[in-house]
Chain A
Amino acid sequence: MKPFEYVRPSTLQEAIDLVVSNPKAQFIAGGTNLIDLMKHGIAAPEKLVDINHLPLKKIEKRDGFLRIGALVLNSEVASHKRVLDKHPLLVQALHAGASGQLRNMATVGGNLLQRTRCPYFYDRAFPCNKRVPGSGCGALGGINRMHAIFGVPVKPNPRSCIAVHPSDLSVALSALEATVWVLGPRGERQIPMADFHRLPNNRPEQDTTLSNGELITAVEIPDAVFPKHVHYLKVRDRASYAFALVSVAAALDIDQNRIKTARLAMGGVAHKPWRLFEAEKMLTGQVASETVFRQAAEVAMQGARAFEHNAYKLSVAPNVIVQALKIAAGLS
């Protein structure tokens, strides 16, 4: 591992200044992904700015929102009474991710910023446009069973990337239309979850819309209309402690069996949490039934395209959508 300087600033502004003043400086919080990447030589910061002591550890009820500080641990969110009562979808997604040990280390902000687990991103013997822009994509002609089916290029070019975003929490936050608060050299701003992560296009090295030196301070979740009819369903290679092949976050507001509002997002299928806007629209106003859910899943899958080894996702994904909706609606 490359030597680095370790600093621990005592205010948010100092932390941001330290990163802005050195393009090779990086924030570190839980470290569960960054240290992994540093051991692999994929991340090689010259300076590590430890933000663990900054005051971003509160979960607060605000008017119309629940505000979760960026440094609250995944396990703390999942066991917080208000989250358990009002946002069970978050709890399910958190428990579907990582392991008990990792949830005790990983922070909310860090969870959003974790990098893809594409094996070609990790293996420096292969080209990877995310790791070395312009070097090519090892997955396109390689083993791509874990890879994306949405937001992928029709005609791959030398800068293409078909990696998927690995976070479960982000999928649930996306369905709940959370807002990410960030502080940076130009002050504070809010980014809707739908705009926080980005598709690779020709800059796959850029996972998010954050600028250099911007630090996530909190995530805000609008007060729930979804305390009951929710489900996070994750399909993976083993029953627990594995990244998603396909996951679905489903949240329904149902009144006498009629769907007033539907929210759907998928994980494991794109470079970002994949909101199913068209399927949501289709479900609105309908009576909850397996037939309707099946139609919504068909709508959701439009535009999906597979590669050599991940064509199974084209049939698994709609089934996961239907099953998640059935469980959310209490039909299963």
Chain B
Amino acid sequence: MTDDKPDDPTPPDDGTFFEMSDRRLFLKQSLAVAGLTLTPFPFLKTAEPDSDETPVGNAEKVRFTLSVNGKKQQLSTDPRTTLLDLLREQLGLTGTKKGCDFGQCGACTVHVDGQRVLACLSFAVMQNGRKITTIEGLAKGDRLHPMQEAFIKHDGFQCGYCTPGQLMSAVSCIREGCANSEADIQEYMSGNLCRCGAYPNIVKAILDVKTGGQNA
């Protein structure tokens, strides 16, 4: 019996692939490590002809594709760039907040392929081909998401800095089936810290959406 999910979906066959965007710098840097850097490339390419192209690069920029809030984007960045920095600095989506930048506060929570993750603990290039949803993509035009409405109704924030992360996490919490009681919500929202202490109202807002049967 094998009950599993298929391995990663086939990457988009749209001709997008990682490559060195600055070949001159690449050549300059590779002189010292030419053997190591260049030898893997030919056999990687031939090993599995149907797989996506293998990204290769030093700390030079690599190109890749992301869908961000429903819009496909061709991007180019230093591989050290986290998904968080890419969203904020390169795409101008500053709704996603940088709190601790070390995976301890949850302020940078976004959805990748529908699942909540921490944007600060992921390199952007590793998300090639995936769908990212940020707080900017939660509302439908002018119509707020039910969770946003509930946060306003229940006063689920004070300074507001943690709120985008709280909202993204709250939506997932319901999707994951982990919002059945106050205790459940407290446990499964524990990765999102709020220094103002709006927790009781955040829990109320989530319970309201959950029991109101609104689609999170």
Contact = CB atoms under 8 A, between A and B. Distances in A.
A253 B122 CA distance: 41
A6 interface: yes
A145 interface: no
B51 A102 contact: no
Contact of B44 (A9, A39, A76, A98): A9
Contacts of B52: 53
Interface residues of A, number: 49
Interface stretch (B100-108, B142-150, B154-162): B100-108
B54 interface: yes
Interface in A215-256: 239-241
Nearest to A5: B58
A31 B54 contact: no
Contacts of A75: 115, 176
Given A31-B126, A57-B5, A100-B116, A14 B44 contact: yes
A100 B7 contact: no
Nearest to A95: B187
Nearest to B120: A35
A11 B7 CA distance: 13
Interface stretch (A58-66, A173-181, A193-201, A285-293): A58-66
Interface in A1-48: 1, 3-11, 14, 17-18, 21-22, 28, 31-32, 35-36, 39, 47-48
Contacts, number: 144
Given A7-B56, A100-B169, A82 B3 contact: yes
Contacts of B102: 36, 39
B191 A241 contact: yes
A104 B36 contact: no
B109 interface: yes
10 contacts: A4-B80, A5-B79, A7-B55, A9-B44, A9-B47, A11-B48, A39-B101, A75-B115, A104-B116, A240-B186
Interface of A: 1, 3-11, 14, 17-18, 21-22, 28, 31-32, 35-36, 39, 47-48, 50, 52-53, 55, 57-61, 69, 75-76, 80-82, 95, 98-102, 104-105, 239-241
Interface of B: 1-5, 7-8, 18, 36-37, 40, 43-44, 47-48, 51-52, 54-59, 62, 78-80, 82, 101-103, 106, 109, 115-118, 121-123, 125-126, 169, 172-173, 176, 178, 186-192
